[in-house]
Amino acid sequence: MARLPRFVMPGYPQHVIQRGNNRQQILFEEEDYWFIWERMGVAAEKFQCEIHAYVLMPNHFHLLLTPYLENGIGKLMQYIGRYYVQYFNGRYDRTGTLWEGRYRATLVDPKHYLLGVSHYVEANAVRAGLVSSPAEYGWSSYGCNAEGAEDNLVKPHREYERLGRSAKARREAYAKQGETPMADEVLKQIRDSTNKAWVLGGSEFCNEVEDLLNRRALPRPRGGDRRSEAYRRSVGRA
């Protein structure tokens, strides 16, 4: 089955995941984390992407970033993947593939989902049972976004900047948001949209994407009342 083309809209954020092949570990020592972190920064500048949130996990990583070039994310991921594999294979005396394959990504509705995805990314280590709070995990953007730690990889999105008039107010508001557990339904939305390459957004945003790119932003509904106005509209019959 042919892969669907990615949703690409320069200036709009995307949530990206890259995993190790067969979920194998890709980061072992502190030097590994620093190497990939540094390559991410170089790639972001080189290919005109702004990273708003990230987490580096032992066997995968997440990025929430905005590209400003049509092929910005693809180039960034290719650059990171190539340089890290060269480094990793040399350091650990191995050969062969390291990555699962094609990275997964979803276009994110900034108004309704950007901050939620940011918290989702930074809470990854908590969900994995590595720490009890995002603040305890050193390899994410949480320290920057919620605590003001210096992190050259992170560029705040305008939705983050709307949280307060000062940097302190924004950090406090962001940290407070993160204290509220994410609803299971929202977690599922984020995961499904990213893994299945659909748009993560409200109806207005999805309609905008469909109009601009001339393709469906969401999967067709299954079952339901096929005579209903909502169903007909969802399949382009209304």
Name the least confident of 12-16, 27-31, 138-142, 194-198: 194-198
Two structure tokens written together for 205: 């945003």
Q: DSSP code of 171?
A: H
101 vs 103, higher pLDDT: 103
Is pLDDT above 90 for 235? Answer: no
Confidence of residue 219 (pLDDT cuts 50, 70, 90): confident
Alpha carbons 107 and 152: distance in angstroms, whole number: 24
User: Structural domains in the chain?
Assistant: 14-201 (3.30.70.1290), 203-238 (no CATH)
| Per-residue model confidence as pLDDT tens digits over 150-174 | 999 999 999 999 999 999 999 999 9
User: Rounded to the nearest 5 degrees, what angle is found at the Cα of 163, between the Cα atoms of 162 and 166?
Assistant: 90
Helix (H, G, I), strand (E, B) or coil at 99: strand
Residue type (1 letter), 200: L
Is pLDDT above 90 for 4? Answer: no
Alpha carbons 120 and 55: distance in angstroms, whole number: 10
Q: Phi and psi for 120 in degrees, rounded to 5?
A: -60, -45
Is pLDDT above 70 for 234? Answer: no
- Average pLDDT of 75-89? 97
Two structure tokens written together for 155: 């560029």
Q: Give the pLDDT score at 3.
A: 62
